[in-house]
Amino acid sequence: MQPLVNWSLYDKLKAGGPAVGAWVASTDPTAAEIVAGHAWDFVLIESEHVCFNPESIRGALMGISVFDRPAIVRVPWRSEYHIKYALDTGAAGVLVPRIETPEQAAKAISFTRYPPKGRRGFAPQRVSNYGRATNEYAEKADRVLCLFMLETASALERIDEICGLDGIGGLLIGPADLAVDLGLIEHVGERHPKLQEAMDHVYARAAEAGVPYGAVCGSPAQGLDELRKGAKMVVVGSDIAWMRAGAATAFDQVQEGLKGL
């Protein structure tokens, strides 16, 4: 028996990437299953700003595992509780929001590692194929990715310390939050020079430390641009954004057609 988790994102990042992923922000597991039907390097469940709960996260993970894709859960907060149930239910890793200090980052890493490396409680549930592959999971549990969202100027000030932590899986910049924290709320969605300078700084320091890095992007074109700049991991869109765009396109086509009736 094999654990119900896919480790290929860990392998891809270790090999230098790039890894391209997509968001799932709808709590209906059908959305996760549809998105995972394409061969993304990972599928990211957005439970920070969306009303996911443990049950709906489990449903999304089940939908993603139909196509055997690596699933990452952006947990609502950097707490042991949220990290624990995401991993025990089948996530290949967690994306921890609002990391600002190496102390916060180190604590989050400890929640993803079994003793003596950390303090994760040993009771893998669904991820161990309901106990059928507990030993097999435990043997590879150090492959769990603890990824960090950098979203504030204060995180940039301590980027070298964060990058130097044992167990760090990678860094993703949240451009919208970082722009707001830099006083650029009127420029959210743009690559303002001040924001770009901050992102370039993170990229340079992470590259120097050998830590995979990248950003959350609003489109495939933006994601490709970040990859050309050296990013190793990007997220290029979401189920909700694609559904909204599809609905808008259909509506506009009908409205245009009605003009000729």
The active-site residue, picked from 38, 49, 82, 187, is 49
The reply to whether 82 belongs to the active site is no
User: In the structure encoding, which two tokens stand for residue 124, read together?
Assistant: 């893998």
Within 13 Å of residue 36, how many CA atoms lie on the same side as its CB? Answer: 26
User: In the structure encoding, which two tokens stand for residue 64, read together?
Assistant: 């993603």
Q: Estimate to the nearest angstrom the gap between the alpha carbon of 82 and the chain centroid.
A: 14
Residue 147 near residue 94 (C-beta atoms within 8 A): yes
Angle between helices 239-258 and 29-36 (to 10 degrees): 90
User: In the structure encoding, which two tokens stand for residue 3, read together?
Assistant: 């654990």
Buried-exposed string 168-202: b where 16+ CB fall within 10 A, e elsewhere: bbbbbbbbbbbbbbbebeeeeeeebeebeebbeeb
Query: What is the rounded distance in angstroms from the CA atom of residue 174 to the CA atom of residue 44?
Result: 14
Buried-exposed string 65-101: b where 16+ CB fall within 10 A, e elsewhere: bebebbbbbbbbebeeebbbbbbbbbbbbbbbbbbbe
* Active site (catalytic) residues: 49
